[in-house]
Structure 1
């Protein structure tokens, strides 16, 4: 007989309300109550619960009854459940399978149940490890009671739909690879049964579930292959691993025992070298956006044209631009807004431009610069690797667009680096799935790979381990972001040097990071060839012309190179500089509406022809004037291949670079941090003051939670409901599914399946 999903079973309408927890569990007396258990705790134990569940301490609970009610709030339970390790979740699952949602059980029962479920696993937790996990669950108040304990109501319901960590107890348990191969080889009819169950909660009714069923039928064959699990004579269940394969999910590195520590210390020197390159790119980006802020699209993102411009100016690829821009925004060095001064071609929109924080960062020490960037990266929510990919509407994702934001990235980044402080990269996934199973199950593998690449790029990970400054971040309490000064202490940056070696082949060897002012000048007159702690620059005709265009004279350049070169200035470099100087600056311009002068009448005549569109006219053999501004004339002549410089009334060179554009800095949010100990003490004191007025009763248990627990525990219940004629009726049934406000339940006396409307049920009694 085929296996039918419950959603296709004929409906029977009925009615409902919520009973008290004590009423539900009459048959197993005495049943521990949450308030009664809290009454037995001392102040230290109560403080521990508040510390682990800080949301229940604010505002101060007036008594144990109020605290118990807060501990049972679904949102609070969900936060607590997401803190659990795989072992703690497995213990919780084993306890639920043993009926601990409805009736008290003991620790040995959980140990026996868990060991039986994991009997074929490579690693099985010891009784001591299981006991520690149970203690952790008590500290979170997810289970309560003494030797006999019970699971806090609603706890299992907060887990993701169809969550299953333990292998099937009945039948054959398959690995992900075995399930994939078996499903691939299935006939179409068999596969259709499995696909149908995926869309119907994973449970189905069939006569072929019986042990005496015809082995040639599809259901017995699927059970034998391990692709279905027999629940009872009429019910089958889709194993979790089979569901993951059919839903196209990735294989999961589940394990319920911790991975053996294998972390290696991070290579700090390599990390600092990587960080220096990022800092250099950030300085170049600040300079580029100071001169010409990048206009944004309507959504605040940078379009393709702006990204292309920045790749050209920074001389890196688009991925590097996406990373350094995202980092600049996250670090507060860049921001979207209206810059001052406005660009000459202002279009009335917003721009990405540096903030005053960028000026402070540029003047900071190397260690402070690297710490600032590391801290900004730690909190970054932009997924730079998504730039250029297609979004949900099949449109490209732009840099800094809302589509490139992922609010969970800081938490994911922290989990990855914390894992790398325990294990090597080869065990990263296994460690993640043990310590953060719920969060890790939702993280795509691609995200982990990209975050690791970013960590290497900025120097948080090097040599396979976490570097010292990144360890400061991982060791901070949850929700706390260390100050830049604290991170900078861990940055073992080499002291800046004040010399370099200029070689005859026009290369400049720099043995370490230069002082900020020297770094700026060398960056103006030479091109970087090899970044790192020891870098290499190359002097060329184009780089020297660029330096002179920025206002440096040949004499200033020669003095700078001679003063700081440890081996003197080679003749080849001196000759090149003198040759450029002879041709550079022979045209002189002044702000007298403006003028050009030159000792070479032929050169001046050529300049007048080149800038004729600006109204430049010759008034003497060596002088020409124009109605255009000096900067326009200088720019036009440079585009024409000439090399003019600006001068003041005394003939001194002028720097015509515009005032750097800035937008106001945003106020940096403060990290929340853990609950203050004084608040915990105040909460305990408030509770104790009200103990006299406590009732010791338990809040009502929702009908939904009871029925869901009965489904998981495969328990028979008696439902009280009102029929269509308003007559109160009781019926003993076995709940099969609870979904969309409806309960499908099996009447074992007749074999019929009935559907009850949840809001009509008036009473639930667990038999």
Structure 2
């Protein structure tokens, strides 16, 4: 495209008003309207009464912003190029943007399907969302400059360079051209300031005055008297500055006819490294097995001692540190593990709601095989809206975010996990994605949906911890999960949800994940090579029984292609604590060892068994003080209270392992009159009756009450909504004059449209005294929550809150 051709059209395409958009929507077939409502779900809820009301919402900036958030870089650039060039020809747009013609045509069709571009032009919300300078281009000059500057090729390669412009321009003028070429095309100089560079550009028509005051999007150029952007010297009063604009023709000439500085194509996946399939399977399965082991250890640790809940919710730092030490993990990895286990429904709150403990589903999960246990953890991960990497950071109110707390919840986290999984699945098998590449690809796919800092790296680390990736490449099981996530993102607009389909899909996903992991798991090994230095090696992946034995009786020193463990006094004591006797432990080790056990190990086991149990600890829930020894003896031998398992430790001191509330009920049922007392011996006449936890609680998922997932309407619901839209539009058309806009969205759309066209409106406004006033006005400005108006009849200005506007209609 030549440098001068783009400058011949208007700088802006006239925006379509509400009536034109309503006529366009009403002319669409029902199937197209249903597709539009499915693609832009904010238009379907709450439902509109007519196509006019729907057009007011569809053309408003908030709804347009939501639609733009789902567009990729090429589609957004095409939308801005249409506004900048006034052209909707795919070849011209493709040349100006440096993309393929079919990509430009596809983007135009996408914008039309979303009702952002119609035959009458772009909707007003698109114009507002893009801003006054699409792609950094200013308005056309009138008249256009007689000569245009040469392109600045160095600026295209190096945005930070200062090119040497051909001709007799001063360095100051060259710097201004370089600063304003790619936009924003606006700068300011002090009123009355002298600058040779500004005078040169004004004389050539390469800068034009745009009035006095600080314009939007000011930019800066070096040099004395040059256009200054936001900075210390830009904070002067508006009256002390003069605003200058670079015409659109000049910007296009400096850019060499291109509209964008950076290419719009996504990053090339060919630059990513390839991972050997064997290494990928080995690393991913090793991570999956380690996750299962850590999850089981977490359940065992919290089964022994639950994690108390803070008053503000969540688990405190002390409990997190205790758990991290028990699992030999960093606190950050421990927080991630806790959130994964809770998301899989394996944790719950005890009866009092004061501590997190294993749930009722934890027992069956622990007894299952490795593939089954891993599949449950992996399947729950994409649907989680938790952000465990934020644990320990401070929230907006300055409080630390605790693990399992409500503050570690974000609606975008669920979407980000789905997007990352789908993106990795689109790569060639074995391609190892890096966080930098993933961030660039996500940015190209959704430029207006920014990803919070550090989130991509954290999500990729979670995928690696789960075994969904190995060395950055998606594993076999990871691809199964990615296919399920991709299918969950596609909504069927032809029918509503099928009863029971979601449960069937979840069960099928679990089976597929189990099969995928099992296919990559190496064959188990039941050989234990025990050495005289009390170390032992498993030359491969240990079988279930051997892994359980080593988990109880040895400490892991290294994991990899082989497992190395060491037997220590503490590890042998832990095996004895689990109920395994010394002879049983020796026989179990001998069963897996091809040779006899070293003497050092048998001596270690015998010594640990000899000292084991020298001190005994009994857990006591209730202490009974009985002053009369005869009453105490009778109480211990009374068969009516045998279930309390009372033991007399000393004269007048009887203990029970049953909670105090149950002891009170049982004794009272036996005809006694016990009373409760506190640790100081004072009587408590209003006992709380709280019993200790006897059974595992049901699963509790953190943040579940704050879920932001909204069900999308099905095809039948949308078809019914379209029928009501046509009925409402027909009723409105039969009334003749357009009905006044009464809903806030429609009213604001008419106000913005009247501001652009300078047309007159008739408003009904509720005054401070509750009386309704009729005003004939012109709109001066539409601001957040209020509107500035000029009363045409009273010749006054007024500011009205949006909620006080009853109706808006054309005068």
**TM-score between both structures, scaled by the size of structure 2:** 0.62
Q: Does 2:88 align with 1:107?
A: yes
The answer for the alignment partner of 1:285 in structure 2 is: 298
Question: Is the contact between residue 174 and residue 241 of structure 1 (CA under 8 Å) also seen in structure 2?
Answer: no
Rounded Cα–Cα distance in structure 1 between residues aligned with 2:422 and 2:614: 61
**Aligned runs of 1:149-164 on 2, under 5 Å?**
149-157=120-128
Q: Does 2:106 align with 1:125?
A: no
Deviations 1:449-468 (A, max 9, x none): 22222222222332222233
The answer for the alignment partner of 1:564 in structure 2 is: 592
Q: 1:276 to 1:755 in 2, by over 3 A?
A: farther
Q: 1:573 to 1:253 in 2, by over 3 A?
A: farther
Q: 1:245 to 1:671 in 2, by over 3 A?
A: same
Rounded Cα–Cα distance in structure 2 between residues aligned with 1:299 and 1:527: 37
The answer for the alignment partner of 1:410 in structure 2 is: 414
Gaps of 5+ in 2: 1-11, 140-148, 164-171, 222-227, 233-259, 428-432, 492-501, 622-646, 659-691, 764-773, 791-795
Q: 1:758 to 1:592 in 2, by over 3 A?
A: closer
Instruction: Decide which of 455, 458, 462 is 1:454's aligned counterpart.
Output: 462
3-state DSSP of counterpart to 2:135 = coil
The answer for the alignment partner of 1:501 in structure 2 is: 528
**Aligned runs of 1:539-558 on 2, under 5 Å?**
539-558=567-586
Q: 1:588 to 1:56 in 2, by over 3 A?
A: closer
Question: Is the contact between residue 762 and residue 777 of structure 2 (CA under 8 Å) also seen in structure 1?
Answer: yes
Question: Is the contact between residue 15 and residue 121 of structure 2 (CA under 8 Å) also seen in structure 1?
Answer: no
The alpha carbon displacement at 1:283 in A equals 0.7
**Aligned runs of 1:584-623 on 2, under 5 Å?**
584=612
Instruction: Decide which of 322, 340, 359 is 1:327's aligned counterpart.
Output: 340
Question: Is the contact between residue 15 and residue 123 of structure 2 (CA under 8 Å) also seen in structure 1?
Answer: no
Deviations 1:619-640 (A, max 9, x none): xxxxxxx977899xxxxxxxxx
The answer for the alignment partner of 1:49 in structure 2 is: 36
3-state DSSP of counterpart to 1:378 = coil
The answer for the alignment partner of 2:115 in structure 1 is: 141
Question: Is the contact between residue 502 and residue 569 of structure 1 (CA under 8 Å) also seen in structure 2?
Answer: no
RMSD (CA atoms): 5.6
Question: Is the contact between residue 43 and residue 63 of structure 2 (CA under 8 Å) also seen in structure 1?
Answer: yes
Question: Is the contact between residue 386 and residue 404 of structure 1 (CA under 8 Å) also seen in structure 2?
Answer: yes
Q: After superposing the two structures, state which structure 1 stretch, 278-287 or 254-263, moved more.
A: 254-263
Rounded Cα–Cα distance in structure 2 between residues aligned with 1:710 and 1:113: 31
The answer for the alignment partner of 2:135 in structure 1 is: 166
Q: Does 2:217 align with 1:238?
A: yes
Deviations 1:596-629 (A, max 9, x none): xxxxxxxxxxxxxxxxxx9989xxxxxxxx9778
The answer for the alignment partner of 2:310 in structure 1 is: 297
Q: After superposing the two structures, state which structure 1 stretch, 52-61 or 323-332, moved more.
A: 52-61
Rounded Cα–Cα distance in structure 2 between residues aligned with 1:393 and 1:181: 45
The alpha carbon displacement at 1:277 in A equals 1.4
Deviations 1:372-392 (A, max 9, x none): 222333233333233333444
The alpha carbon displacement at 1:295 in A equals 0.9
The alpha carbon displacement at 1:552 in A equals 0.7
Rounded Cα–Cα distance in structure 2 between residues aligned with 1:579 and 1:61: 81
Question: Is the contact between residue 208 and residue 220 of structure 1 (CA under 8 Å) also seen in structure 2?
Answer: no
Rounded Cα–Cα distance in structure 1 between residues aligned with 2:566 and 2:262: 53
Instruction: Decide which of 482, 489, 514 is 1:488's aligned counterpart.
Output: 514
Q: 1:220 to 1:390 in 2, by over 3 A?
A: farther
The alpha carbon displacement at 1:271 in A equals 1.8
Question: Is the contact between residue 353 and residue 661 of structure 1 (CA under 8 Å) also seen in structure 2?
Answer: no
Rounded Cα–Cα distance in structure 2 between residues aligned with 1:591 and 1:763: 75
The alpha carbon displacement at 1:326 in A equals 1.9
Instruction: Decide which of 471, 483, 489 is 1:463's aligned counterpart.
Output: 471
Q: Does 2:233 align with 1:259?
A: no
Rounded Cα–Cα distance in structure 1 between residues aligned with 2:161 and 2:351: 55
Instruction: Decide which of 550, 553, 562 is 1:522's aligned counterpart.
Output: 550
**Aligned runs of 1:327-726 on 2, under 5 Å?**
327-338=340-351, 350-422=354-426, 424-425=433-434, 426-440=436-450, 443-471=451-479, 472-473=481-482, 474-478=485-489, 483=506, 484-491=510-517, 492-494=519-521, 497=524, 499-504=526-531, 505-511=533-539, 513-514=541-542, 516=544, 518-532=546-560, 534-567=562-595, 569-584=597-612, 662-666=696-700, 676-677=714-715, 679=717, 695=733, 705=749, 717-720=757-760
Q: 1:176 to 1:276 in 2, by over 3 A?
A: farther
Question: Is the contact between residue 327 and residue 373 of structure 1 (CA under 8 Å) also seen in structure 2?
Answer: yes
Q: 1:174 to 1:755 in 2, by over 3 A?
A: farther
Deviations 1:191-214 (A, max 9, x none): 9xx9xxx9xx997887869xxx84
The alpha carbon displacement at 1:302 in A equals 1.8
Question: Is the contact between residue 302 and residue 400 of structure 1 (CA under 8 Å) also seen in structure 2?
Answer: yes
Q: After superposing the two structures, state which structure 1 stretch, 363-372 or 532-541, moved more.
A: 532-541
Rounded Cα–Cα distance in structure 1 between residues aligned with 2:359 and 2:100: 56
Question: Is the contact between residue 60 and residue 749 of structure 2 (CA under 8 Å) also seen in structure 1?
Answer: no
Q: After superposing the two structures, state which structure 1 stretch, 453-462 or 310-319, moved more.
A: 453-462
The alpha carbon displacement at 1:289 in A equals 0.6
3-state DSSP of counterpart to 1:445 = coil
Q: Does 2:253 align with 1:273?
A: no
The answer for the alignment partner of 1:309 in structure 2 is: 322
3-state DSSP of counterpart to 2:454 = helix
Deviations 1:268-301 (A, max 9, x none): 4312211221221111110011111111210122
3-state DSSP of counterpart to 2:401 = coil
Rounded Cα–Cα distance in structure 2 between residues aligned with 1:727 and 1:580: 94
Question: Is the contact between residue 290 and residue 662 of structure 1 (CA under 8 Å) also seen in structure 2?
Answer: no
The answer for the alignment partner of 1:81 in structure 2 is: 68
Question: Is the contact between residue 288 and residue 313 of structure 1 (CA under 8 Å) also seen in structure 2?
Answer: yes
**TM-score between both structures, scaled by the size of structure 1:** 0.65
Deviations 1:715-756 (A, max 9, x none): 7x4354899xx997889xxx89967746699xxxxxxxx998
Rounded Cα–Cα distance in structure 2 between residues aligned with 1:589 and 1:694: 83
The alpha carbon displacement at 1:542 in A equals 1.9
3-state DSSP of counterpart to 2:758 = strand
Q: After superposing the two structures, state which structure 1 stretch, 575-584 or 312-321, moved more.
A: 575-584
Instruction: Decide which of 71, 82, 88 is 1:95's aligned counterpart.
Output: 82
The alpha carbon displacement at 1:526 in A equals 0.9
Deviations 1:125-169 (A, max 9, x none): 233211110111122222223xxx42234345467xx69772445
Question: Is the contact between residue 180 and residue 245 of structure 1 (CA under 8 Å) also seen in structure 2?
Answer: no
**Aligned runs of 1:206-217 on 2, under 5 Å?**
214-216=194-196
3-state DSSP of counterpart to 1:537 = strand
Rounded Cα–Cα distance in structure 1 between residues aligned with 2:229 and 2:300: 50
Rounded Cα–Cα distance in structure 2 between residues aligned with 1:337 and 1:69: 51
Question: Is the contact between residue 14 and residue 122 of structure 2 (CA under 8 Å) also seen in structure 1?
Answer: no
The alpha carbon displacement at 1:350 in A equals 0.8
Rounded Cα–Cα distance in structure 2 between residues aligned with 1:476 and 1:414: 10
Rounded Cα–Cα distance in structure 2 between residues aligned with 1:675 and 1:241: 49
Q: 1:519 to 1:694 in 2, by over 3 A?
A: farther
Q: 1:629 to 1:519 in 2, by over 3 A?
A: farther
3-state DSSP of counterpart to 1:508 = strand
Q: 1:398 to 1:681 in 2, by over 3 A?
A: closer
Deviations 1:400-429 (A, max 9, x none): 333333332122232333333446324322
Rounded Cα–Cα distance in structure 1 between residues aligned with 2:520 and 2:15: 66
Rounded Cα–Cα distance in structure 1 between residues aligned with 2:761 and 2:128: 23
The alpha carbon displacement at 1:708 in A equals 6.0
Q: 1:549 to 1:568 in 2, by over 3 A?
A: same
